[in-house]
Structure 1
C-alpha cells in the first residue's frame, strides 16, 4: 500500500508543478497546428527513403560516433570507478556528467571546429562520469566471498581481476550495451550543431518542409535502435570498436593555436582580459546574473518541475499497455511499439519537431520530455508489473489497476522518476538552444555573440544546478528508502 511519506512527497511535487504552470509559457502559437501535424504524420506514413543524398553515410557516422564515444567513455569511466572512493574523483565525475553532450559539443566546436574529435569527446566526457558512478556501484556490490577464498599473498590486481570482475562482469556488460543505445541517441542529436549524423539531415528536411524525408529518417533511426540486439553481438564488438574511428569522416586540421587562445583569452572574463579591474568584474558578473543566469535558472526549474510531474502521469498511464495483467497480445504489441518509439526518440528531436508544428513555447518541451521519459519509466514498471502475482480478489479493469498494481509498483515508480529528475533538468537546459528561454538559450546566445566568457559561466551554473538536483534526488530517495537502477 501507499506509505504516508510517498503520498506526501507526491502531493508536494504535484503542487509545485501546478504553481509552476502559473508562471509558464504554455501555448500553441502556430497559425494552423493541426494542418502541420497532419502533414508531418502523412510524411511518416509515406516516407521517401531515396530523396536524401548521403543518408547511408549519415547512419554510418551516427553509429561510428556512438561506438567511439561510448567505448572511450567506458574505458575512462572504468578507470575512474577504481578510485571513485576519492572525493575529488566523485566531484569531478559529477561535474562532467552534469554538462549535456550538446554543451560539450558547442564548447569543442569553438576550437576544434567540425572535426570528428568534437563529436567523440562530446559523448565520451559526460559518459565517462556516468560510467564511473555506475561501475563503482556495481563493483561495490560484488560478492566478497571469492576474494576470501584466494591464497594468502595474492596481489591486489590479481584479486581484482580474478575475484571481483568475474562476479560483476555480466552486469557491467549489460549496462554498457544499454549505454550504447543512449550513445546512439546522443550521436544523432549532435547533427543539430552541424556534425554529419542523422540529426543534421533531419533538421534540414524539417526546415524545408520535406516531411516524407524527415519521416524516412525517423523510421531508419527507430529501426537502428530497435535492431541493436540483432547486430551488436559480443564477438563483433571488438570489430565495431576498432573500425568505428575510421568511419568518423574527416574535418579541417585542428589549429592548436585556437585551442590555446580559447583557454587563455576567450573564456577569461572580459574585464580581466581588458585589464579593467575587479570593480568592473563585479559589474560584469552582476549583469550576467540579473539578465541571463537568474531568468534562465527560473525557466529551467519551472519547466523541469512541470515535465517531471507529466512524466510521472504518462508513465502511470502507459505501463498497462505492456502489462500482461491487461489486454491481449495485440494490445501489448501495439503498446510496446508506442513505448519503443517514445523512449527511442531523444527529447531534443521530439521538441524540435513539436516546435516546428506548434510554434515556440514551453509546451513542445514539456510534451517532448514527458513522452521520452514517461516512455522509459512506463516500460520499466510495465515489465516489473509482469512479475507480480495477483491476489485472488484483485478484480479487473480499473480495480486491478488502482487497488492492486499501482500500490505495489509505486515505490519503484517513484525511484525511477526521481532518478530521472536530474536527467530531465539536463535536457531542459539544452532545449534552450531551440528557443525556449532556459539556460541553454542564453548559453547559445552568448556563443553566437562570441561571448565565450559569459557562456562558460552559464555552463558552470547549469552544471551546479544539475549537481544540486541530483543530490536532492538522492536525499529524497534515501529518505523514502527507494531503490533504483540506472536508466538512460
Structure 2
C-alpha cells in the first residue's frame, strides 16, 4: 500500500513517541491524586480574591514587566530585522531566542539579584530574537509594487517608510499584540524564580495547600488575558509603555562588582580559572557530559517527542469543539472557553499544578505541554475549518470529520505542529526546574551549587539543541511543502 509523505512522517513520529514511552518516567506517585485534583477544582470554583495581600500589586507588576520587556524586545527586534539577511545576525538571533526566559532570569539573578532589570532583560532578550525573525519575514513578503511608483532618486529610508511599512503594518501590529499576550505569560512565570509577579504568589498558595487563593489568581490571570482587546488600545499604548517602568518596583541595588566577577571568573570553567592544564579541562568537560549533559539531553528529547505527538492527538480531538461543522452554539462556546483556558495557561504553571497533584514524573509535563500547545493549534485549525464550504450532501458525524475536514486541514495541522516543535523543546528543557530530569534540572542544580561554569555550558547545550530542532522542523516543512494556510 502506498503511503503519502505526510502520512509516513506522521507514522514515524508516532512510532518514535510510542518507543519513548518505554523509557520515560510516566507515573502518578501521590497517595490520593483524585482527592487532590478535586480540592483544586473546588478551589477554582470557590476563589478567594481578598485573602492574599499584594495580589493587586503582583498583577500590576506582571503587566508592567510584560509591557517593558515586550516593548524593548520589539524595538531591538525591529532594528535586527533590518539586517537579518546577514548570516551572523541570524545566528545571533537564533541563539538568544533558543534560551528560555527563565534561563535568562536565572543568569541575571546571579549578578543583578532581584532587581527589575532581571525580569525586563529576561523577557526582552529572547523576544528580540523572535521579533527579528518574524518581522524580517513579514517585511520580506511586502508587495514591491508601490516602491516602483515613487519618484526617481527617492532615498532608501523614505522608500521603506512610505511603501513597506504601510503594506506590512497590519501584520506587524497583529503579531506584536500576540507577542504581548505571550509576554504576560512569561512575566507571570518569572515569579517562580522569586520576582514579584503572579507566579510567586501562585507558588506560595499551592505550597501551603491554599487552593481557593490559587484559584483566584488563575481566574484573574485568565481575565487579564481574555480582556486584552478591551484594555490594550492603540491610543493608550504610549501611556502604558511610558508608565510601566514606574510600576516595576525598586529591588535591591545592583552591585556592579558582582557583574564583573560573574563574567570574568564565575562562568570560566574551573580548571582554567584555577590555572590547570588541558588534561584537567578535558576531564572536567567529560564528567559534565556524562553525569549531567547526556542524561539531560536524553530526557529532554524523550519528553519532547512524547509531548509533540500528544499535542497532535489533542489538536485533532479538540478542533471540532469550535468548528461550525459540528454541534450547536452552546457546544462551540464551551469549546472556545476550554481552548482559551488551555492556551492561556503557561505550560510551566500547568506543569507545576499537576506536579503538586500527581507527584514528580514526566506525566504532568506531557499533559501540560499537550494542553497548552494543543489548545493553540486546535484553535487555529478549528478556525480554518470554518472557512471550508461543504457540499449540501456532505456526510455528517464521524465521516464528515474523517473524510471531509481532516484531509483538508491535515497539511496545515502538520505545519503548525512542526512549527511548535522547537517551542515544545524550549519548554521541556525549562520544566526541569520543577524537578523533572531534563536539562533544566541540571542547570538549576548547578546554579544552586554555585557552579556557574557548569550551568552556562548546560544552557549553551540547551540552546544548540533547540536550534537543531528548529532547523530540522523547518527542513521537514520545506521538504513536505507544508504551509500553515491551506492552498487552493
TM-score, reference length from structure 2: 0.99
1:240 Cα offset (Å): 0.5
Q: Show the counterpart of 2:331.
A: 331
Q: Is the 8 A contact 2:191 2:197 kept in 1?
A: yes
Within 2, Cα distance between the matches of 1:355 and 1:393?
48
Alignment CA distance shift 1:228-1:3 (3 Å): farther
Within 2, Cα distance between the matches of 1:297 and 1:118?
27
Q: Show the counterpart of 1:160.
A: 160
Within 1, Cα distance between the matches of 2:42 and 2:253?
43
Q: Show the counterpart of 2:415.
A: 415
Q: Show the counterpart of 1:456.
A: 456
Q: Show the counterpart of 1:398.
A: 398
Q: Show the counterpart of 2:109.
A: 109
Map 1:327-476 to 2 at 5 A: 327-476=327-476
Within 2, Cα distance between the matches of 1:173 and 1:369?
27
Map 1:12-411 to 2 at 5 A: 12-411=12-411
Q: Is the 8 A contact 2:44 2:211 kept in 1?
A: yes
The one-character-per-residue Cα deviations of 1:247-270 (angstroms, maximum 9, x if unpaired) are 000111101110000000000000
1:276 Cα offset (Å): 1.2
Within 2, Cα distance between the matches of 1:154 and 1:36?
68
1:289 aligned counterpart, secondary structure: helix
Within 2, Cα distance between the matches of 1:248 and 1:204?
20
Within 2, Cα distance between the matches of 1:177 and 1:55?
25
2:153 aligned counterpart, secondary structure: coil
The one-character-per-residue Cα deviations of 1:356-388 (angstroms, maximum 9, x if unpaired) are 000000000000000000000000000000000
1:7 aligned counterpart, secondary structure: helix
The one-character-per-residue Cα deviations of 1:187-219 (angstroms, maximum 9, x if unpaired) are 000000000000000000000000000000000
The one-character-per-residue Cα deviations of 1:114-149 (angstroms, maximum 9, x if unpaired) are 000000000000000000000000000000001101
The one-character-per-residue Cα deviations of 1:157-213 (angstroms, maximum 9, x if unpaired) are 111111111110110000000100000000000000000000000000000000000
1:235 aligned counterpart, secondary structure: helix
Within 2, Cα distance between the matches of 1:401 and 1:32?
38
Within 2, Cα distance between the matches of 1:49 and 1:356?
22
Within 2, Cα distance between the matches of 1:3 and 1:332?
34
Unaligned residue ranges in structure 2 (runs of 5+): none
Within 2, Cα distance between the matches of 1:226 and 1:163?
34
1:393 Cα offset (Å): 3.4
1:483 Cα offset (Å): 1.5
1:341 Cα offset (Å): 0.3
Of 45-54 and 2-11, the range deviating more from structure 2: 2-11
TM-score, reference length from structure 1: 0.99
Q: Is the 8 A contact 1:138 1:171 kept in 2?
A: yes
Within 2, Cα distance between the matches of 1:159 and 1:413?
37
Within 1, Cα distance between the matches of 2:392 and 2:296?
53
The one-character-per-residue Cα deviations of 1:437-467 (angstroms, maximum 9, x if unpaired) are 0000000000000000000000000000000
Equivalent residue pairs, number? 484
Within 2, Cα distance between the matches of 1:174 and 1:376?
16
Q: Is the 8 A contact 1:343 1:373 kept in 2?
A: yes
Unaligned residue ranges in structure 1 (runs of 5+): none
Within 2, Cα distance between the matches of 1:87 and 1:413?
30
Q: Is the 8 A contact 2:413 2:484 kept in 1?
A: no
Q: Is the 8 A contact 1:394 1:403 kept in 2?
A: no
Within 2, Cα distance between the matches of 1:23 and 1:174?
42
Q: Is the 8 A contact 1:146 1:163 kept in 2?
A: yes
Q: Show the counterpart of 1:6.
A: 6
Within 1, Cα distance between the matches of 2:31 and 2:8?
42
1:278 Cα offset (Å): 1.0
Within 2, Cα distance between the matches of 1:121 and 1:101?
9
Within 2, Cα distance between the matches of 1:215 and 1:332?
25
Q: Is the 8 A contact 2:421 2:470 kept in 1?
A: yes
Within 1, Cα distance between the matches of 2:52 and 2:6?
50
1:353 Cα offset (Å): 0.2
The one-character-per-residue Cα deviations of 1:343-366 (angstroms, maximum 9, x if unpaired) are 000000000000000000000000
1:261 aligned counterpart, secondary structure: helix
2:234 aligned counterpart, secondary structure: coil
